[in-house]
Amino acid sequence: MKSIAELEEKLSSPSKALINDLRRIEGDIIILGVGGKMGPSLAKLILRAVNSANLKKKVIGVSRFSDAGTKADLQDHGLQCISADLLDDEALQALPHAENVIYMAGKKFGTSGDAHTTWAMNAYLPGRVSEKYKNSRMVIFSSGNIYPFVHYASGGATEDTAPEPLGEYAQSCLGRERIFEYYSHRYGIPMLIYRLNYAIDMRYGNLLEIGKMVSEGQAIDLRSGHMNVIWQGDANEIAIRALLHTSSPPKLLNVTGPETISIQQVAGIFGRIFGKAPVFKNEPDPYVLLNNASRCHRMFGYPSTSLLEMIEMTAEWILQKGEILNKPTHFQEREGKF
């Protein structure tokens, strides 16, 4: 992986399963909050799959598009882009109808100093969107942060684990789920709540952060000594295919890779690649944020990109000083403050 173009090609290359499922998904698709970390690659993945299947399906992306370059790039790939602040109700009501909604809007970082905006985005806006798209099916991006910490040997929280969100961000994520759930019951809206934890590509994510700490000789905090990851391309495929699995009341789905990953072991692999001994601090706490995605793997199969492949691609990206996004995951945060 030597360039953004190669990365984008890998992220947006649709599988046969996705192409076949898109043939079964009736109607147009609108992506709300398309301008975030995952939205642009998800949109390009849909567009390539639609073209591969020779479908007459419209794909629409909505965002504030604070980065004009992102909007221009998506338009060049064939996405119908609409610039709108979803909290502006007039702008929301003016959006076109679509039979399928992928809801990616939300706020995480900056919550500690701007909690009211986080709550507005994460728990107020879902009600307005549900009223607008009450005749659509919806996949709702949520977070594994709504779960309590679990023992690293437990296999991770399942969809049956009772939520126990830590901190205002996680609480607002549960608020988002509950508001969508209310409207699903009220109007019979078919929904799937997509609890992701954590997606990566070469430009951001917990593997990149661990690799950079090893490369730069920074001490890695082991208090949260285990984690989950999934390749962003796999996570995006699941989100799109999940449109065929919506229900009322909403279906819950954990989305991540199959491994409970030891951060110490991952750092050791990076260390061997870089020829540097990792530096650690603190002792691992046995209770960490982990998700069990067995239901997801049963529905969609195992992710196509393995953990070792992700580590090796990330190491190569670091060595060649590839472009990175200034969007840290804070996956080691244990107090719920984002």
Q: Which residues pair with 221 in a beta bridge?
A: 281
Q: SS3 for 183?
A: helix
Look-up of token digits 């491994």: 259
pLDDT at 30 over 80: yes
CA distance 129 to 127: 5
Question: 261: which DSSP letter?
Answer: E
State whether CATH 3.40.50.1010 applies to domain 4-319: no
CA distance 228 to 247: 27
Nearest to 229 by CA among 261, 204, 273: 261
How many CB atoms within 10 Å of residue 51?
Answer: 14
Q: What is the DSSP string of 25-67?
A: S-S-EEEETTTSSSHHHHHHHHHHHHHHTT----EEEEE--SS
Any idea where the domains of the chain sit in the sequence?
4-319
Angle at 122 between CA 250 and CA 302, to 5 degrees: 50
Per cent of the chain over pLDDT 70 is 99
Q: What is the pLDDT of residue 113?
A: 80
Tokens of 134: 């009450």
Q: Give the pLDDT confidence of 130-188 residue by residue, as tens digits.
A: 999 999 999 999 999 999 999 999 999 999 999 999 999 999 999 999 999 999 999 99
Segment (H or E) for 127 = helix 125-132
State how far the alpha carbon of 115 is from the alpha carbons of 68, 123, 167, 170, in Å. 27, 11, 10, 11
Q: SS3 for 187?
A: helix
Tokens of 67: 């980065």
Q: Give the pLDDT confidence of 118-130 residue by residue, as tens digits.
A: 999 999 999 999 9
Q: SS3 for 154?
A: helix
Q: Give the pLDDT confidence of 205-229 residue by residue, as tens digits.
A: 999 999 999 999 999 999 999 999 9
The type of residue at 187 is Y
CA distance 135 to 158: 30
Q: Which residues pair with 150 in a beta bridge?
A: 288
Q: What is the pLDDT of residue 329?
A: 75
CB 169 within 8 A of CB 336: yes
Per cent of the chain over pLDDT 90 is 91
Q: Which residues pair with 100 in a beta bridge?
A: 29, 137
Band (330; pLDDT cuts 50, 70, 90) = confident
Q: What is the pLDDT of residue 152?
A: 95
Q: Give the pLDDT confidence of 250-296 residue by residue, as tens digits.
A: 999 999 999 999 999 999 999 999 999 999 999 999 999 999 999 99
Band (334; pLDDT cuts 50, 70, 90) = confident
CA distance 85 to 63: 7
Segment (H or E) for 86 = none
CA distance 190 to 61: 21
Tokens of 162: 């009772």
Measure CA of the first residue to CA of the last residue in the chain; give whole Å: 31
Q: SS3 for 155?
A: coil
Q: SS3 for 40?
A: helix
Band (327; pLDDT cuts 50, 70, 90) = confident
Tokens of 326: 């200034």
Handedness of CA 273, 277, 279, 282 (dihedral sign): positive
Q: SS3 for 263?
A: helix
